[in-house]
Amino acid sequence: MKPILFLFLAPVLWAEAGDSPEKARRAAELVLAGKPEDAIPLYQELVRALPNDAGALLNLSIAEFKAKRYRDAASHAAAVLQLQRDSPAANLFLGSSYEELGEHAMALEPLEKALEAWPQGSQRSFDVRRGALKS
């Protein structure tokens, strides 16, 4: 980017990044309130402003998963894994999205990776051979 152009765009870029914590908080509240569809546009704005922010991408993936947008959730979980190869949460949502899409073979590896990263004796365990969550 040319230095002069950057000087003109810098305030816009900083304003977008500075607004990020408030947008993230509002989006998280919407997801917790059972309104993931309303949170998705906020997370999309955050990802546009901060495209290499694995946390923003993961939150977008989670909101999409909760909104039953499994293809989008898988895509964004995969993007997280490009930034953080061993993210248990990204593997969980990638595998779970594939499972919901009926792509069981694709679901197996990320679910196994998520299971390996989860602490032993956690409250829930994943049966990745059957693709079922059991208490």
pLDDT for residue 14 is more than 60: no
pLDDT for residue 94 is more than 60: yes
State the pTM of this model.
Answer: 0.76
Q: Residue 95: its pLDDT value, please?
A: 97
- Average pLDDT score, the chain: 82
Q: Residue 18: its pLDDT value, please?
A: 59
Helical (H) or strand (E) element with 132: strand 132-134
More confident residue, 6 or 111: 111
Q: Residue 118: its pLDDT value, please?
A: 76
What sign results for the dihedral spanned by CA atoms 123, 81, 63, 101?
negative
pLDDT for residue 5 is more than 60: no
Domains of the chain: 3-134 (1.25.40.10)
Q: Which of 109-118 are b and which e, b meaning 16 or more Cβ less than 10 Å from the residue's Cβ?
A: ebbebbbeee
User: What is the per-residue pLDDT across 57-82, written as a single tens digit (0 to 9) for each?
Assistant: 999 999 999 999 999 999 999 999 99
Number of H helices, E strands in the chain: 7, 2
Give me the helix-helix angle, 88-100 and 70-83, nearest 10°.
150
User: What is the per-residue pLDDT across 23-50, written as a single tens digit (0 to 9) for each?
Assistant: 999 999 999 999 999 999 999 999 999 9
